Amino acid sequence: MPVIFRNKPPLELVEQILETFGLKTTCDKAWFTKPQIHLDKLEILLVELEPYYMPCMAVLTPLTQSRALTILRQILREYGISIKSVEKSTGGKKQIWYSIHSTQTNANIFTVDLGSS
């Protein structure tokens, strides 16, 4: 897998980017579709994101909904989060719905010291 970022984008910037997809935090399990992505707001945030990319990977325009999903996948991968997709039919029209999920196991995140006192 190629190195995409010079430095990991800060969590605050990642959460601002998630808001353009209709999500609140990296733990938000809500589903979203491509038409729900606010490309105009995301385009503004990409100016802040660009310095974190490796120079050869920083081609972020033209911004489309598919490109926005790719950028989100790249950012979330740095935090051990992936995007899952599922095709659903609503009103006779097929759409792809997306949701974010942690790829890390919770068992390794917390440790409890049960030593005697």
In this prediction the pTM is 0.80
Q: What is the pLDDT of residue 104?
A: 67
The token pair that represents 93 in the structure block: 């029209």
In a domain, 59, yes or no: yes
Q: What is the pLDDT of residue 117?
A: 38
Which of 30-34, 67-71, 83-87, 108-112 has the least mean pLDDT? 108-112
In a domain, 3, yes or no: no
Residues 46-67 have pLDDT tens digits of 999 999 988 877 766 788 999 9
Residues 72-96 have pLDDT tens digits of 999 999 999 999 999 998 888 899 9
Residue ranges making up the domain that contains 79:
11-104
Q: How many domains does the chain divide into?
A: 1
Q: Are 103 and 50 in contact (CB under 8 A)?
A: no
Kindly report the CATH number assigned to the domain that includes residue 34. 3.90.1150
In a domain, 117, yes or no: no
What mean pLDDT value characterizes the chain? 84
The token pair that represents 24 in the structure block: 């609140």
In a domain, 88, yes or no: yes
